[in-house]
Structure 1
């Protein structure tokens, strides 16, 4: 039997854009016309009701200089440079996203950080890499429930023993919150997958959660959640 002709072999195909991304969030993440506006810190801070800096700093503070950290999906605003500065020149930041437009924008913002790398991958697929930490900053509310479970499972699988996963996202605001009715309409009109996350503990989304110690806090009247999962170290074999 003859060996295959290298010239006829096909290279691995790039991950396809998810249907839900093209159908629901094309205007936000796939449109070159809106990207320069949405990527401004003032816009990001307005969307998060003045809490952008607070939430970003809290997420970055979970990691330490010298660590290897995965940022799950690109983030508008200053988050990626903040996280790159946090891990420092002795650390490494790996930013992963499925949309090339977002990756190009992240590369631009991280051009001055040699410790940061940006690559295309589908987080619904296993990552086959281990990190000291992974961070999903306002990602989970933007994906349907099935894909959300896959993403959380894959992110937890990528955490090395003793490492941590950090999830910052929306949460169900308290009944007295003055923005509760406003956010109801925001979710209904712009964030159709968010309601299924609001009252669902992130720890319940993956069977791997049992290998982690979980701590969840809410902020700004319950509208946001900051969840940290630390993988317990492996026990030495007898």
Structure 2
């Protein structure tokens, strides 16, 4: 997913303009602009499976609207975004793993306040450019190109991964999850929000199966997977999962502990 509702400038409408040029044109001045595709290239799965959603400027114009994001999540977008943002505190330095359509980054940046800092990473230069455009003027936000399969050198008070894992092949999830866990400071947390297998009899169970088969080929493998297993043996983290909307969505918090004492996972159900 990726960004906020606003009129998209003419630079986005030109299908012939390269993404790198767009990134240079709409940088917000908070960091160097002109990001090109990384030397190692865009992830193959992104180019093959999600080009239409994240690498096409014409689709970006239609998808990057709160109403569209809300429809995709069956009216739960605002609720899930607020639940994720509420896991962090004012003044914290937080990493957002991948750009998100709609106003999620704005909500998270507002939660962190002017003394906090939000850094957004995405493998697609077009998404980085679009996020900079949307949040131009917000001095506590920066965005840059980075493939999350690669390690990060910085440390953060918290990390938020909002509907990313279902979009990457199953064999890549462990690498991404462990890279995110590796950068959180002691006492900090990593927050994952994503799809989950809905309870038996859920009226949207089969419609969503069709959606996954048609548009989200990697999602089905995530539905029954315990996210804690992606981290391997990590006694330095305590895990808690909250389910939403009849189990269709999950919010998983991995909290870093000062000690290495083993912690048990917890699960709670939010009201439908």
TM-score normalised by structure 1 residue count = 0.91
Confirm or deny: 8 A CA contact 1:156 1:209 kept in the other structure: no
1:33 aligns with 2:67: no
Partners of 2:123 and 2:226 lie apart in 1 by: 25
Partners of 2:208 and 2:259 lie apart in 1 by: 42
1:230 aligns with 2:255: yes
Match of 1:120 among 136, 145, 167: 145
Confirm or deny: 8 A CA contact 1:163 1:230 kept in the other structure: yes
Runs of 4+ that moved beyond 3 A: none
> How many residues align structurally?
223
Please state how far the C-alpha of 1:58 moved relative to its aligned partner: 0.3
CA 1:84 to 1:36, structure 2 compared with 1: closer, same or farther past 3 Å? same
Partners of 2:112 and 2:149 lie apart in 1 by: 25
Match of 2:103 among 74, 78, 82: 78
Residue matched to 1:143: 168
Residue matched to 1:106: 131
**DSSP 3-state at the match of 1:209:** coil
1:94 aligns with 2:87: no
Partners of 2:226 and 2:148 lie apart in 1 by: 20
Residue matched to 2:238: 213
Q: CA RMSD in A?
A: 1.1
Residue matched to 2:35: none
Please state how far the C-alpha of 1:206 moved relative to its aligned partner: 1.6
Confirm or deny: 8 A CA contact 1:41 1:77 kept in the other structure: yes
Residue matched to 2:87: 62
Match of 1:190 among 173, 190, 215: 215
Partners of 1:41 and 1:24 lie apart in 2 by: 23
Confirm or deny: 8 A CA contact 2:99 2:121 kept in the other structure: yes
Please state how far the C-alpha of 1:210 moved relative to its aligned partner: 2.5
Confirm or deny: 8 A CA contact 2:180 2:190 kept in the other structure: yes
1:164 aligns with 2:189: yes
Unaligned runs of 5+ in 2: 1-37, 261-272
Residue matched to 2:5: none
TM-score normalised by structure 2 residue count = 0.80
Larger Rg: 1
1:23-71, Cα deviation, whole Å (9 max, x unpaired): 0000000001100110000000000000000000000000000000000
Partners of 1:93 and 1:208 lie apart in 2 by: 29
Confirm or deny: 8 A CA contact 1:66 1:90 kept in the other structure: yes
Confirm or deny: 8 A CA contact 1:153 1:208 kept in the other structure: no
Residue matched to 1:153: 178
Partners of 1:46 and 1:15 lie apart in 2 by: 35
Partners of 2:184 and 2:196 lie apart in 1 by: 24
Please state how far the C-alpha of 1:217 moved relative to its aligned partner: 1.1
Please state how far the C-alpha of 1:179 moved relative to its aligned partner: 0.3
Partners of 1:36 and 1:116 lie apart in 2 by: 22
Unaligned runs of 5+ in 1: 1-12
